[in-house]
Amino acid sequence: MKLDDFNNIDFNNAGSLPAAVKAVLLASIFVVILALGYYFLWTDAFTSLDTAKAKEDELRKVFLDKQAQAVNLAGYKQQMVDIEKTFGALLKQLPDKSQMDGLLTDINQAGLGRGLEVELFKPGQETQAEFYAEMPISIKVLGTYHDLGAFATDISKLSRIVTLNDISVSTGKDVKSNNADAILVMEATARTYRYLDADEIATKKKNDAKNKAGGKS
């Protein structure tokens, strides 16, 4: 087989071409057909195959995650039970609306019980969260260092949740700081909480929905 055999090919007389030339031509035609088939037909098929493999890997991962959750289902259920018990115990420490006056009295009495002079005890504006309401109380009391400390301890031991925040303790200009019996002034914000009743929660959800809808318009 020579190069001239390809230069002088007569396709009208292809049947008389040498066998070697025929073989090369057929191989060339096959390669061209294969390339065109890959480009026009198999490219999409390979793309679909890659997509299917990626989806298979994703589904396998989801399956393994679900399988792991199913294996640990008993543990998850027990965790939910424990969480509900803890939540219930915390919820019991929140008074309802009818108990708030009594709680405010307890906070005030904690100061008076330690011999403190209460100059300010002013409940502020209540703010509502998802299922509870928070009330700040501005406090200003006068007493010795030890009495103020005992008052803070008494607040922490109340059966209801009360926290002291933004505490500031100061002395008079004529009082020496090393005098244990010196009268100090403590200003703080006590925060107490109560849980919302069913009607309040329903009203809050309704108002939140209205505000959300109004914000979109």
Section 74-82 average pLDDT: 74
Whether 201 and 181 have beta carbons less than 8 Å apart is answered as no
Give the per-residue pLDDT at 62.
Answer: 87
Section 158-170 average pLDDT: 88
Residue 48: pLDDT over 70? yes
Higher-pLDDT residue of 209 and 21 is 209
**Helices in the chain by DSSP H: which ranges?**
3-7, 19-37, 43-71, 73-92, 100-113, 145-156, 198-216
Angle (nearest 5°) at CA 103 between 99 and 104: 120
Section 116-143 average pLDDT: 88
What pTM does this model have?
0.51
What is d(CA 114, CA 128) in angstroms, rounded to the nearest whole number? 32
Section 194-205 average pLDDT: 79
Give the per-residue pLDDT at 9.
Answer: 56
53: three-class secondary structure by DSSP: helix
Give the per-residue pLDDT at 3.
Answer: 47
What is d(CA 39, CA 142) in angstroms, rounded to the nearest whole number? 89
Residue 95: pLDDT over 70? no
- pLDDT above 90 covers a percentage of the chain that reads 15
Section 191-198 average pLDDT: 81
